[in-house]
Structure 1
Amino acid sequence: MKSLRKYADRPIIGVFIRNILNFVVSRKANQISQHFSEYLHPVVAFSADLQAESYKIRHNVYCEELKFEELRGNYQETDDFDEHSTHCLIKHIPTGSYAGTVRIVRTQSADQLLPIEKYCISSIDEKSVHPSDFPREQICEISRLAIPAKFRKRATDKFNGSATGAINEHVYSERELRCFPFIAVGLYLSAASITLHHGIQHCFVMMEPRLARSLRFVGIPFQQVGPVVEYHGKRAPYYISRKLLMEGLSPGFKKMLQNIEKRIEVQFKRKS
């Protein structure tokens, strides 16, 4: 696959190569969508108990494993942004355990800042898209993506971290392995489904460039809007709009998004 990509920009064969790559990605996306539906389920954490599950995963990853945050006595990692956030979990259906979490931080007024505005606003290039460019109710931030270590590769993996979709291949079946590297993708598509539900048009996120490249390859075209900085590891500010998301997703991943949307909409309807 990598050997094909380097020719994709050449005028004569570029179109042909890109068509091959698009076909492969689309076919892979259909398989991933099917496997995701079979083994994983998005859960909107409306209740205090479910939110506690999210906070426990975050504590395990951000405090105990990565040591980005101080240990908490209750083993739950929380902050002031949680009060105006929607939290989402990915449930591993066969075991009933949770394979990851993510939150969507929303803001309704000027005094409700996004994390990127409070901690990393100087990292956004002045000429790039900026949170202040849009009405407050139309922006959000995806943050605190965390995947428990048992759903990732061995602890010595050099890319070990909360934002990786790698898995522990010694615990799960071969068929499941084809799905688990995309837990991070499932979390972002779940977050996208929630933002679409709320009518949010513009989204920001601080994430590892490696993850951004992987997401862009599967059709989630986050745009880097500033340099890499030290913030819970090497991260950079990224932006995506509703329009960019819907135009970028391949048919296979659009199907996956639609399936996730249906599951999430059912949960919002039950809540109301």
Structure 2
Amino acid sequence: MHTGFALQHEADKTINQPAYEDVSTIFNSVFNVQLAMCPETINEVFAVRYQVYCIDRPFEDPNCFADKREHDAYDPRSAHALIRHRITGDSVAAVRLVMAGDNPEQADFPMEGPCLPQMDLYAQQAFAEARRENIAEISRMAVSREFRRRLNEDESDTGISDFACYSDAENGRRAMPYISLGLFSAILQMSVRHGITHWMAVMEPAQLRLLKRFGVEFDHVGPVMEYHGRRRPAFTEAASLIEGIKKRRPDVWSLITDEGRYLPAKPYTGYKTHEREVA
């Protein structure tokens, strides 16, 4: 697997190239991806979302969720996933894919009305040409503030920080970049399972910049707009995004696709979604 570390005799050729850590080894040693396939796990997703979107941020009214589980009308036609911390088993992050459901032409996506018209004509045309049943909106990406707080406790007597904190390529001690990549791994697994070929999302500019640093680049990114804070809408064909990652950051591609096990369908080619077992 490509790690970005050059051999000594290749130093002259790679002196201006950044050194990358083995993100798969880092992520998989600390976290694991779990698709929410049963009510109990989906409730864990909703609990993470409640903590993030009702308590940590003034996004939703906590009084609307007496069971401390944040959910909405889009959840019945969504797929859900968690990122777990291996040592503790804690749910540290969650994400969902909102899909068109049983009536694609009558079902909207959360960002479709307020955000898509703000994008350029090329993005709008790409969206219009895609089959709605193969589009999904990446939504409710949430990382537990409690987990982020613990990451900063380098002297923690529980020892959790010893496992959850590690150096990244900029010599920081941050898990957030790797959690974000893990969430994309979850997104890809859900997309393969449900035949999704196109992704749309509204993200903070800083998150888009972080993902771009790891080779994750959307085909179309719109202007900064006010949408529950300053956000940028994005739309992409999943296969082209994944292929771009493979060219720019094969180490990240390996993590997100599980070394090629999960690959998104290509639209309009008769390509069947599959999960290829790796020997």
What's the secondary structure of 2:59's corresponding residue?
coil
After superposition, what is the alpha-carbon deviation per residue over 1:33-58, rounded to whole angstroms, capped at 9, x for unaligned? Answer: 11211221111111111111111111
Check conservation: 1:190, 1:260, Cα contact below 8 A: no
After superposition, what is the alpha-carbon deviation per residue over 1:182-234, rounded to whole angstroms, capped at 9, x for unaligned? Answer: 11121122102221333321100000011001101101112443211122211
Check 1:18–1:140 CA distance in 2 against 1; reply closer, same or farther (3 A cut): farther
- Deviates further, 103-112 or 80-89: 103-112
After superposition, what is the alpha-carbon deviation per residue over 1:83-135, rounded to whole angstroms, capped at 9, x for unaligned? Answer: 11000001111001101000011114111111111443333233424532211
Aligned residue number for residue 227 of structure 1: 223
Question: Once the 2 structures are TM-superposed, how far is the Cα of residue 17 of structure 1 from its aligned partner?
Answer: 7.5
Check conservation: 2:46, 2:70, Cα contact below 8 A: yes
Aligned residue number for residue 26 of structure 2: 35
Aligned residue number for residue 7 of structure 1: none
Check 1:125–1:89 CA distance in 2 against 1; reply closer, same or farther (3 A cut): same
Check 1:246–1:168 CA distance in 2 against 1; reply closer, same or farther (3 A cut): same
Question: Once the 2 structures are TM-superposed, how far is the Cα of residue 261 of structure 1 from its aligned partner?
Answer: 7.5
Question: Once the 2 structures are TM-superposed, how far is the Cα of residue 151 of structure 1 from its aligned partner?
Answer: 2.1
Matched, 1:173 2:168: no
Greater relative contact order structure (CA < 8 Å, 6+ sep): 1
* Pairing partner for 1:47 from 28, 38, 43: 38
Aligned residue number for residue 115 of structure 1: 110
Check conservation: 2:220, 2:236, Cα contact below 8 A: no
Residues in 2 aligned to 1:114 and 1:142: alpha-carbon distance in whole angstroms: 10
Matched, 1:209 2:202: no
Question: Once the 2 structures are TM-superposed, how far is the Cα of residue 245 of structure 1 from its aligned partner?
Answer: 2.0
What's the secondary structure of 1:173's corresponding residue?
helix
Letter in 2 for 1:114: F
Check conservation: 1:201, 1:241, Cα contact below 8 A: yes
What's the secondary structure of 1:120's corresponding residue?
helix
Matched, 1:241 2:225: no
* Pairing partner for 1:187 from 183, 188, 196: 183
Check 1:210–1:204 CA distance in 2 against 1; reply closer, same or farther (3 A cut): same
Residues in 1 aligned to 2:75 and 2:199: alpha-carbon distance in whole angstroms: 17
Residues in 2 aligned to 1:230 and 1:17: alpha-carbon distance in whole angstroms: 41
Q: Structure 1 length normalisation: TM-score?
A: 0.77
Check 1:18–1:142 CA distance in 2 against 1; reply closer, same or farther (3 A cut): farther
Residues in 2 aligned to 1:39 and 1:176: alpha-carbon distance in whole angstroms: 6
RMSD of aligned Cα (Å): 2.6
Aligned residue number for residue 62 of structure 1: 53
Q: Structure 2 length normalisation: TM-score?
A: 0.75
Residues in 2 aligned to 1:139 and 1:18: alpha-carbon distance in whole angstroms: 41
Residues in 2 aligned to 1:45 and 1:63: alpha-carbon distance in whole angstroms: 21
After superposition, what is the alpha-carbon deviation per residue over 1:141-192, rounded to whole angstroms, capped at 9, x for unaligned? Answer: 10000001122258xxxxxxxxxxxx43445334531272211121122102
Aligned residue number for residue 92 of structure 1: 85
Question: Once the 2 structures are TM-superposed, how far is the Cα of residue 237 of structure 1 from its aligned partner?
Answer: 0.3
Unpaired runs of 5+ residues, structure 1, are 1-15, 155-166
Check conservation: 1:221, 1:244, Cα contact below 8 A: no
The count of residues paired between Structure 1 and Structure 2 equals 233
Check 1:191–1:153 CA distance in 2 against 1; reply closer, same or farther (3 A cut): same
Superposed, 1:14-29 pairs within 5 Å as 20-21=17-18, 24=19, 27-28=20-21
Letter in 1 for 2:257: Q
Check conservation: 1:190, 1:261, Cα contact below 8 A: no
Check 1:261–1:50 CA distance in 2 against 1; reply closer, same or farther (3 A cut): farther
Check 1:261–1:94 CA distance in 2 against 1; reply closer, same or farther (3 A cut): farther
